[in-house]
A and B are shown apart, each in its own frame.
Chain A
Amino acid sequence: MKITKQEVEHVAHLARLEFQEEEKEKFTHQLNNILTYMEKLGEVDTANVEPETHAISLQNAFRGDAVRESLPHDLSLANAPDEAGSYFRVPKVIE
């Protein structure tokens, strides 16, 4: 077993997801299959190989620090599930 049900629960919490008991079992099984498949990567000798994070070499993309048009308040809030004035409203954070 690469991953246990307890680990699945922990990872789910990190990802802000929750699952029913039977979903947890199913996910544990499927994730194990997928992670086992990924063990293949261990066969490859990668000593002294730099990791590639972007396929083409890019320098930092800077732009001038100039004020530009941005989304106005009302449009920024237009899709909000819940808003109050010029704020997004959420359930309480602390007791």
Chain B
Amino acid sequence: MRQIIEGSHAVAEAVRLSRPQVIAAYPITPQTHIVERLAEMVADGELNGEYITVESEFSALSACLGASAAGSRVYSATTSQGLALMFEVCFNVAGMRLPILMTIANRSLSAPLSIWNDQQDSISLRDSGWLQFYAEDNQEAMDLHFIAYRVMEDHRILLPAFVCFDGFILTHTYEPVDVPTQDEIDTYLPAFTPYQKLDAQNPLSFGMYATPEYYMEFRYMIDQAMQRSKDVIGKAGREFGEQFGRDYSSLVEEYRMEDAETAVVAMGSVCGTIKDSIDEMRKKGKRVGLLKIRTYRPFPIEEVKKSLQSASTVAVMDKNISLGSRGAVGLEVKDALFGSDISIYDYIVGLGGRDIRKKDVAAIVDLAEKGEGNLFYGLHEEVL
């Protein structure tokens, strides 16, 4: 049913409909409304799972790890400093091949302290072995939870996933979403069948040590699962589209790219603003389009290459910065287009909640077309 609710509550609904058996999370701004609502649902009997209250994010994800190893469908949510505190457990979860779903309400990292949005937190877990999905709006944020569970729990994949949506910009926004029924989700997302689980009758060990003879093979197998997940995501996204009418069969989304000379590349909620800006630029005769990256891990290198091959200029907007290098999406796009003569520029934008307006998108397109890029956009020079 279509209804107007807060983004965090929309995600909580998606989680409820996914029937997690164990939830462990620690509240942190701007993720708080998700876990408050889930705690209410469990207390009111609307969600038939166990909600484990913990004293830190480290414990939250550790509890999830144990519950997942015991064969449960598991959920958590965090952001920023909370995710930073989970760093060690994140690598363990992926290494033990546990399909745990975690919502990231994207927020910048300290210091200086900022509660506002950018995507530095999830990007900093780039190499942890978690799938990473990014949502443009709250409908997409909801839908990606169902798709993520389908993909992660596939026995060919068995990897954890982040569904990332921008803190405050989406978490605290009321907007219309179509909330599926329980029957619809039960059809799309069957109960979790663990590949293997902790069982006293049939003892197994998870996360044992690996000598130099074996460690590389474990990392290789995670990478292979990541590569395989591209097809599995495509299939799960296509089947979601067939059932619900919203198609996610591609890891990217193109907007007015058909004849675009200049392409903007971005992830998350800013893609909405970029689409509106592109409509305005198109009215003035500029041939510009958007390539939205929905899946940062695995990175859709083939789709990016195909989509951008006929553009002459590419402007990547990164809400993160790999300090001492460039933005994380910009680097990937350059890799995808290696050997082409396309001009590719990276723009660091929106860090710590700096607002991004339509006119900023237009200004970035102008800069890229003039050949000026690889810079922090919109700095307040007077305070430097």
Do A and B associate with each other?
Answer: no
B contact set with A: CB distance below 8 Å: none
